[in-house]
Chains A and B, each alone.
Chain A
Amino acid sequence: MSTDSPGLADLAPRDLTWHPPALTPDYRSSRARAPGHKLLSLPPSGSTLCGPVFGHDLLGPHDHDLIVNYAAPGETAIGPRILVHGRVIDEDARPVPGALVEVWQANAGGRYRHRNDTYLAPIDPNFGGCGRVISDADGRYEFRTIKPAPYPWPNGVNFWRPAHIHISVFGHAFAQRLITQMYFEGDPLIRLCPIVQAIPDPTAVDTLIAPLDMEATLPHDMMAYRFDIVLRGRASTMFENRMEGN
């Protein structure tokens, strides 16, 4: 295959038992949207082992700062100020530099800035609720935001989403494409949420719960949460030298 830059040499198969299955009836929206057939295995090829590269010049200086990136001059978003940071790495713990991390979330009242969200809590005029950042050479990323609130959702009579931040990650290969949600340590709604509990393995759920990171907290300014993101890694380490540099 012909590309204008090398993609990954290979990718390990995805462990589908680690991800939520398509059909999780307690999460009602999955009932009519889950494919009935098993996924057809399509070994990674050149085209899915590469993907578009997003350069740092794409981003504005405040794209990663949700506290100010939609606020009027001199204003800031309402809510507990937090820093969310971590690394994008692969399954072999290698850093993934240049990964595009895009986030979106509800505001401190649990309301989304979206034309389809009609929840009672008010819109914050100074909060858009989205941001984006590109990981550095060591895979590190961070964004500043306010802690979102839980909110009710129409999965039945009385369902509440735990506070969460949606995270979309673009690594180096189209086959690594991933969307997930980050939760906050200590939230009692996590164990009650059918979306979270769609993940079969409790140890997998644990990886989505960001712990408070006191060391990264900025005194008198903002608390910090740590969230590392693991993308699919290489299938083999047999040819370390040849496969390095991805």
Chain B
Amino acid sequence: MAKLKETPSQTAGPYVHIGLAPAAAGFDIFDTTLGPDPATPDAAGEHITVEGVVWDGNGDPVTDVLIEVWQADAEGRYHTSPSNSFRGWGRVVSDFDSGAWTFDTIKPGAAPGEGAPHIAFWIVARGINLGLNTRAYFDDEAAANAGDPVLTAMPDDRRQTLIATRSERDGKPVYRFDIRLQGPGETVFFDV
């Protein structure tokens, strides 16, 4: 039998929040909310904040972006079944004025066969015709990053776009991961 074709993508548009994050659109409708954080404060592992801004080719923040993330737990294990403290999947939206987004999670461990620890990102917004896939790796995992087959297959300047940088705020680790859609320092996006 001939294969069917995948349903073609269309942009999520500027009002994606209504469907996927109604509270951000400005109303409350469902008893259960999906997202935002991949892990609760009870989850085992090092608790971290990941934050950044998605920038467009004009250097302006993308203020209507929606991001989903997918990651392993601290032991490098992916959880497909719901867990009270760790789901591994999150859904966050940017601030409508600044474009800043942030989520709390635990730092993922290295999963067997999956290279250096990382968080997968899927990015949709007005003007994005097909959701963009990228990954955030960690700058304090230099040894693991140096052996990662995905990172080592690309030039240095492009690899740097996938490395989140660690700092401390109020004693808590914060990773900064800015995403540039276009132009100088354009983030590497994947065909997964």
Name A's B-contacting residues (CB within 8 A): 1-5, 7, 12-16, 18-22, 24, 27-37, 39-42, 44-48, 50-55, 58-60, 63, 69-70, 89-93, 102-104, 112-117, 128-130, 132, 166, 168-169, 174-175, 177-181, 195-196, 198-199, 204-205, 207-208, 229-233
Contacts and interface: CB of A to CB of B under 8 A. Distances in A.
B130 A22 contact: yes
30 contacts: A2-B77, A2-B112, A4-B79, A15-B6, A19-B129, A20-B129, A22-B128, A34-B181, A36-B57, A36-B183, A40-B188, A40-B190, A40-B191, A42-B150, A51-B89, A52-B80, A52-B82, A91-B3, A91-B5, A112-B15, A113-B18, A114-B25, A166-B15, A174-B192, A179-B11, A180-B10, A198-B10, A207-B5, A231-B6, A233-B3
A18 B20 CA distance: 25
Given A47-B78, A113-B26, A128-B27, A32 B127 contact: yes
B29 A168 contact: no
Contact of A27 (B70, B112, B129): B129
A214 to B, nearest CB: 23
Given A2-B112, A45-B114, A114-B17, A14 B6 contact: yes
B60 interface: yes
A20 B130 contact: yes
Contacts of B20: 102, 104, 168
B167 interface: no
Contacts, number: 272
A202 B80 CA distance: 37
Contacts of B32: 58-60
A48 B114 CA distance: 10
Nearest to A205: B8
Nearest to B181: A33
Contact of B113 (A45, A116, A117, A175): A45
B190 A116 contact: no
Contact of B29 (A5, A51, A92, A128): A128
B115 to A, nearest CB: 8
A45 B135 CA distance: 13
B117 to A, nearest CB: 11
Contacts of A52: 70, 79-80, 82, 87-89
Nearest to A29: B127
A207 B8 contact: yes
Contact of B120 (A47, A70, A169): A47
B16 A33 contact: no
A192 B33 CA distance: 36
A168 B19 contact: yes
Given A32-B182, A102-B20, A112-B18, A178 B131 contact: yes
Interface residues of B, number: 77
Contacts of A230: 4-7
Interface in B148-192: 150, 154, 181-183, 186-192
Interface in B13-65: 13-20, 22, 25-27, 29-32, 34, 56-58, 60, 62, 64
B134 to A, nearest CB: 9
B120 to A, nearest CB: 6
Interface string B86-124: 011100000010000000000000011110000010101
